Structures are given as structure tokens and as C-alpha cells.
A and B are shown apart, each in its own frame.
Chain A
């Protein structure tokens, strides 16, 4: 009757909420963006997402096999990495480079550090950085959403893209860079806010539709999978930076709202920067981390040469996470003890 008694330290009950459910929540939250991606980019979305997810999962499985580690696919983190990587590359990226990016993301971005929880950098961003460095051309060729008939909405910027492939088009951010370089008209971008909100613009697979990302972000906030600190800090600091830039020179800079809706800022704020493994633990740390990402992103966008700065800002701030954690230690509720 009472033979198989267990002993362990307290507490003896636990909340029924596992790492797998945390990751499942993120996958559910990414579903609207996936649906929008399928709607706008059709087969490209399906091919890219399935390639990235499959490769990521397979890579993790093989890495575990090689390292003789316990199978960790059940935590679904490889699936999340795959989806986010697929969402942050151009729709026209060939499948083989998606495979290379995924392998690099999981093997070098995560598994060499010891798997989930031990990685310093966001794996998906590591994979994307590798792809950007290796296939610069492929990573900046943007496909027009299939729902747009012509590229009329956003004038093609370079002669090359006009002639070679009529179905490519500048993203709003790439256009804003042209504004600075060639004194083109920034109003064309600013007039596209409605399109940016719904996603009818060129861009990376999953980041064009602000609406879908906001829906997913709200889901995560309601489920308390993420806290509001990082997204708010990223968006507020980026918005403030953009507002100052716009105030100084409205001729050359996009509207702050256009900045927030365009590029990877929203997917970053809700899905990439909030990756708990690579973000600080304390609330004050989260604020600093978010502000850092928002500010660096805008610095790259407004001052730098490169149109989108999300990836580098996330990777840079990831590197600062341990320092931020050390900087903002929690003080016990009863104050620091007098020793």
C-alpha cells in the first residue's frame, strides 16, 4: 500500500507549465504572421518556413547524437528558431541557403554553447548574420507580395532590379536609404503606412505585416509568456529616436510611426528581443536592454549605411546581457543586509 513512497525537497506540487508550453505559446503567437506570409508570398513562405524548421530540428537532433546528450527536441525551441529565422530572411531566398543558415543557427548559435539556455546570442539572429555575411545579394533581394500586381506602389530603386526582375522592389527602409543618398522623396515611404500595417510591402518573410505581429505580441502578453518591459522599451526608444531625427530633418527621415511599422522592429520587439535566454532577468535590466536595441537599431537605420539594424542591435545587446544582469542586481525586499 505505502511501499512506493517518494521523497524530495519541497515544494511537492508545481504549476503545470513547462518549457515546451512556453515555446508552443510562441509558435501559436507566430501563426498570424505565418498566415499573412502565406497570403502575401504564397509558396515562398511555405518552402522557407518548412525548410528552416526541418533543418533546425534535424540539426539539434544530430548535435545531441554527436555529443551523446539527451534528446531535447521536446522543448520545441528548435522549431521556434526555425520559424523566426525563416521570418527574418527575404522570401526569395533559395532553399539551400536557408538550410545553411538553419544549420549555422542551431549548431553554432545554440548547440556549441551547450544547448537551450546556455547560448549567448539569439540563434536565429546568429543564422541570419551568417547568411547576410555569406550571401549579401540574396539577403537584400526583396520580392513583392503576390497580392500586388505591379511594383508601382514603391518605385524600384536600382536599375538592376528594374531590369532583371520586375517582381522585386525596395523595402520601405531601403527606400529611405536611397532618400538620403540620392535625395529621393521620403513622402513616398511615409504615404505607405497603411500598406506597412497590413504588410503589402516588400520585406522579410514574416516581418512585413505589423498587424499580424501585434496580434501575436498581444497573445504572448496576455499569456504572460513575455513581459511588456522589453517590447515597450524597444518601441518607445526607437520611436523617440525616430521622432528626434524627423524633427531635425523631416526631408530625409521617415515618420516615427513608419519606422516602427517597417522592417524587423516589431518582430524584434515581440519575438526576438524577448527571447528569455539571451535577455536580462531583472526588470531594470530589461528596460536597459530594450532601450539599447531600439537605439542601436535606429542609429543603424538613420545614421548607418545598412537599411535594417535589428539583427545587429539584438546581437550586440545579447553580448551585453551578462553585464546588464550584473549591473542591475535585485535588492532583497527587506533591503541589503548590513554585514
Chain B
């Protein structure tokens, strides 16, 4: 729809790991398992942890608020199903370790699995919603960024007179290997995604809208462009084909690729008038505003060579990874690692009862071969200062210097090499011929520094 399409937008640095998306990219979104019980963490977002709004023994219905908080930066949590609150205690969490969670026993007889919304078979007229209505609906639905970070969406799209928003960028890159949930959402729920984008634009007051898709998803680009042409008021949205490269879907890299400018170090996108939303988030916004449904389900890609039935499943939040793996036919003996997320930024799971949260887009099961012998055995050799990590760093940092400063507890040196500017994408560790856990060291250093500055408990 514009001549922008021929030009490859990108950023400097980055890597291109094997995509491995073929495993699940042709699997249509289908219903996930019906678990016996769900474990719903009270913190699935950045910001204040929710307080439980139910007691042990309470009967809850699908869509009931079970956790909420008065703070500004937070997101309400809803029950995905009908059931009984069995317990409120610490439970495994993919990112935070252990977190206060609500355990709900599912009412097996009295539950219809939630179907994807049917209102979006054709384009939706968004003119009847006011920005205030949209914000309120998004807040009520407890929507957070579903790409991984989990920043409350309402904070992002709310008009802020001090920081007016000019550009809305939809993150449809899905640069992480293996994961295909956003791709399937774009293909199957195209109208819903576009409605969500229109609503977000209206609420935030952005003048221009870009949809950034990596060029390894031509089907998605075509589907979005066709749907945009048919949608009223969306024909000036630009679908931008970005170079297929990791981390193209990193917020800062995406903004650079689309607008040509980096967000200043230490600053956040709203400070330069940019809002970035993930496609799954856009779909959730549409569902919340048009159908009034809270964010209680999401699409999860279950993938890897070791799993019997890989696919993209629509599952209630709180479903344990174990239930999901069992539902997908279990895994073969070759499996060596279970990840919440993809192989570049995903988190290795130690407890299979860890639930799916609002931000987990995938469960990836890696085999020894996928990981590689050296990484599997954690065999590291000394840094030979080859400089590959410098070339790969999308933030133009000096990863090896930072990592070695942290290794020897010289956090002052790591700060002088701008440790805080690291986005933890993992490119440096990926390319390192010595197999040094550079990203791991940098993460450790950040935690130590936060503790030194008393921003974090010991």
C-alpha cells in the first residue's frame, strides 16, 4: 500500500539464529487443555503486585476479578473459568521465581471452554467508542503487554498531556525463533488485531501508525494489508516489512527500524512520543472494548522437536506447563530444557507446575542437539577478545568488558561501560565462540547494582 514496502528497515547489530518456525507456523489456533486446577500468580505485569480479592473457599465465575490493586501502574487479574478458590499461597512463576498465587479448582461440569471472539468476522466500527471508554475497558480487562515485558497497556495508551504521543508502532516482528503465536493471530484474527490498533490509536491520540512485520512472514504482511484496505479509517496505516533479524522485535530496535531514531539511553518510548504494542495486545484490546471480555486467555505456541503435537493453543491463564505438555502428547526422551518463551530470551523452567501467564507466548522444549554440546555441558573457554559480541550488540555496547567487570565484582567498571543500557537480548552470548554466559553476567551485575542502590531487597 506504500512504496515503503520495498525498503528493508532494520537496526545495526543483531544475529540471525535458525528460525525453526516451520514446526508450528501452519498449525491453526485451537483449544488448549482443560486443567483440573489453575494457578494464577498475582503478579503478571510490571508494577505493583495485586492483592487477592477472594478468600479460600470462594466460588468464582469466569471473568470475576480475583486480584487488584489501587496503584497506577498495575493490572487487574481475573478468573478465566468457573471454579472454587482452593488456596492462596506462594506458587512458581516463570519470571519471578515464587509469587503469591491463587489456586482455583476448576468446576469440571460447569465450564464451556472460551471461544475466540466471533464479533470480528468483518471489520468493526470503532467510531462509537470514546477514548475514555477505551481506557476504562482496557483497565478493567487487566491488559498488559503480551510480548513479554508485561507493562500495563492502559498506562501506555492513556492520553498524557505532558507527553503527547505521536506514533503508534505495532510490534508484529516475532523475531524470537520457534514462536508463531503472533503470526497465527495476524492470519486468523486479522480484523480483531486491526480493530485493536484503531482503538489504541484513538485512545492514545497517535497521528501515525506503523505495523512492523519481519519479512519472513509475507503471508501475514499480505493478510494485514488486505484487511487494512477494507477497513474504514485504517487505510493510512503502514505495514512495514522489516529485515528478519533478532532482536528486530525488541522495542528499542523496532523503533529504530521504523522511525530511524534510537530512543535515548535511559529513556522510555513515551518520552519521544512513541507507543509500541504487541499484536496479541492489540487483539486483547479489541476483545476487551468490543466484547467486554477481560484478558484471561491467550495463544501459546507449544513447540520443539521433542514434542509430539506442537501447535498454537488458546489456553486459560494459569494452566500449568505440565498440563500443556501432556495435552500436546508429551515429550520424547531427548528433551533437555523446557522454556517459558523462546530460546533467546525465554526462561528455563525448573518446576513444570509453573503456570502460563499473560506474558508467556510460548513453551519451547529443546533437545540436547538444539542446545549444542558446549552449551549443554556449560563448557566455557577464556575470552579471546574476538569482538563478536561487540558486533552483535544491538545497543552498541561492549558486552565482554561489562561481563568481565561483573565477574570480578567491579560493578563500577561495568557501569562505566553502560551496563544499564543492556536490553538483555542475548545476542552476545549467542555469538560467543568461548561460550561465555555474557548475558548472564550482565543480568547478575544489574541485580547487584540495584541492591547497592537499595532499589531491590537483598
Binding site for B on A (CB under 8 A): 1-2, 4-19, 21-22, 72, 75, 77, 114-118, 227, 276-277, 279, 281-282, 325, 329-338
Whether a CB of chain A sits under 8 angstroms from the CB of B17 is yes
Indicate whether A330 sits within 8 Å of B17 (C-beta atoms), given known contacts A11-B439, A276-B386: no
Q: Which of B266, B383, B431 is close to A117, meaning CB atoms less than 8 Å apart?
A: B383
Q: List 9 A-B contacts (CB under 8 A).
A: A5-B336, A6-B336, A9-B437, A13-B17, A14-B432, A18-B434, A19-B384, A282-B387, A334-B395
Q: Is the CB of A1 within 8 A of B330?
A: yes
B385 and A337 form a contact (CB under 8 A): no
* Residues on B with beta carbons closer than 8 Å to the beta carbon of A2: 325, 331, 335, 338, 352
**B126-134, B190-198, B312-320, B396-404: which one contacts chain A?**
B396-404
Chain B residues with Cβ under 8 A from A9's Cβ? 348, 437, 439-440, 443
Which residues does chain A contribute within 8 Å of B457, judged by CB atoms?
none
Chain B residues in 8 Å Cβ range of A21 = 433
* With A13-B343, A330-B396 as contacts: A4 and B336 at CB distance below 8 Å: yes
Task: Look across to chain A and name the residue whose beta carbon is closest to the beta carbon of B442.
Answer: A9
Interchain CA distance A227-B387 in the complex, whole Å: 10
Count A/B pairs, Cβ under 8 Å: 186
> Within the complex, which residue of B266, B366, B430 is in contact with A15, where a contact is CB–CB below 8 Å?
B430
B374 interface hit (Cβ, 8 Å): yes
Cβ–Cβ < 8 Å partners of B390 in chain A = 281-282, 330
CB closest chain-B residue, reference A15: B431
| B12-27 Cβ-contact flags toward A at 8 Å (1 or 0) | 1101011000000000
CB closest chain-A residue, reference B383: A117
Quote the shortest CB–CB distance from B340 to chain A (angstroms).
Answer: 10
Rounded to whole Å, the gap between the CB of A21 and the closest CB of chain B is 7
Size bin of chain B's contact surface:
35 or more
Q: How far is the CA of A241 from the CA of B78 in the complex (A)?
A: 74
**Does B177 belong to the interface (CB within 8 Å)?**
yes
Are the CB atoms of B396 and A333 closer together than 8 Å? yes
The distance in angstroms between the C-alpha atoms of A332 and B75, with both chains bound, is 32
Q: Which 9 A-B pairs have the closest CB atoms?
A: A117-B382, A11-B426, A334-B265, A337-B266, A9-B440, A7-B348, A332-B421, A333-B396, A337-B265
Known: A6-B376, A335-B262. A281 touches B401 (CB 8 A): yes
- Provided the pairs A11-B426, A13-B430, A333-B12 are in contact, do residues A118 and B263 lie with their beta carbons within 8 angstroms? no
- Asked whether A333 and B395 contact (CB < 8 A) given A7-B350, A12-B346, the answer is yes
Among candidates A227, A281, A331, A338, residue contacting B396 with C-beta atoms closer than 8 Å: A331
Which interface residue of A115, A329, A332 has the most chain B CB atoms within 10 A? Answer: A332
Contact indicator A1/B421 (Cβ below 8 Å) = no
Of chain B, the residue at the smallest CB distance from A21 is B433
Q: How far is the CA of A2 from the CA of B430 in the complex (A)?
A: 25
Q: Is the pair B337, A276 in contact by a Cβ cutoff of 8 Å?
A: no
User: Which residues does chain B contribute within 8 Å of A13, judged by CB atoms?
Assistant: 17-18, 177, 343-344, 366, 370-372, 375, 430
Report whether A117 and B385 are in contact in the complex, using a CB–CB cutoff of 8 Å: yes
Q: Are B337 and A277 in contact (CB under 8 A)?
A: no
B364: nearest chain-A partner, CB-CB? A12
Q: Are B435 and A14 in contact (CB under 8 A)?
A: yes
Q: Complex Cα distance A337/B18, Å?
A: 34
How far is the CB of A13 from the nearest CB of chain B, in Å?
4
Neighbouring A residues of B17 by C-beta, 8 Å: 13, 15
A332–B387 CA distance with the chains assembled, in angstroms: 16
Is the pair A6, B382 in contact by a Cβ cutoff of 8 Å? Answer: no
Q: Check B381 against A75 for contact (C-beta < 8 Å).
A: yes
B348 and A22 contacting across the interface, CB-CB below 8 Å: no
Contacts of B429 in A (CB 8 A): 10-11, 14
In the complex, what residue of chain A is closest to B381 when comparing beta carbons?
A: A19
Is the CB–CB distance between B343 and A12 below 8 Å? yes
Point out which of B385, B401, B426, B439 has the most chain A C-beta atoms below 10 A from its C-beta. Answer: B385
Known contacts A11-B343, A14-B431, A118-B382, then 16 further A-B pairs from the complex at CB < 8 Å, ordered by chain A residue: A2-B331, A7-B349, A8-B375, A11-B426, A11-B439, A13-B17, A14-B435, A15-B15, A72-B381, A115-B382, A281-B387, A281-B401, A332-B265, A332-B397, A333-B12, A334-B263
Question: Within 8 Å CB of B266, what residues of A?
Answer: 334, 337-338
B interface, CB within 8 angstroms of A: 11-13, 15, 17-18, 177, 252, 256, 262-267, 325, 330-331, 333, 335-339, 341, 343-350, 352, 366, 370-372, 374-376, 378, 381-387, 390, 394-398, 400-401, 416-418, 420-421, 424, 426, 429-435, 437, 439-440, 443
Query: Within the complex, what minimum Cβ distance (angstroms) separates A5 from chain B?
Result: 6
- A14 nearest CB neighbor, chain B only: B375
Closest to A74 in B: B381
A75 to B431, CA, bound (A): 17
Chain A neighbourhood of B435, CB < 8 A:
14, 18
Taking a contact as CB atoms under 8 Å apart, the answer to whether B426 and A10 are in contact is yes
User: Which residues from B are CB-within-8-Å of A10?
Assistant: 341, 343-348, 424, 426, 429, 439
A72–B394 Cα distance when bound, in Å, is 32
Across the interface, do A117 and B433 meet the contact criterion of CB distance under 8 Å?
no
Determine which of A12, A17, A329, A335 lies in contact with B375 in the assembled complex, contact meaning CB atoms within 8 Å.
Answer: A12
Contacts of A7 in B (CB 8 A): 337, 348-350
**Docked CA distance A336–B431 (Å):** 25
Separation of A115 and B381 alpha carbons in the complex (Å): 11
Known contacts A14-B435, A19-B381, A5 near B267 by CB under 8 Å: no
Q: How far is the CA of A12 from the CA of B333 in the complex (A)?
A: 18
Query: Which residues of chain B are within 8 angstroms of A118 by Cβ–Cβ distance?
Result: 382
Verify A337–B420 contact, CB threshold 8 A: yes
Return the contact of A14 from the options B335, B349, B372 (Cβ within 8 A): B372
B430–A14 touching, CB < 8 Å: yes
Q: How far is the CA of A10 from the CA of B372 in the complex (A)?
A: 14
The interface residues of chain A lying within 8 Å CB-to-CB of B330 are: 1
When C-beta atoms are compared, the residue in chain A nearest to B12 turns out to be A333
B347 neighbours in A (Cβ, 8 Å)? 10
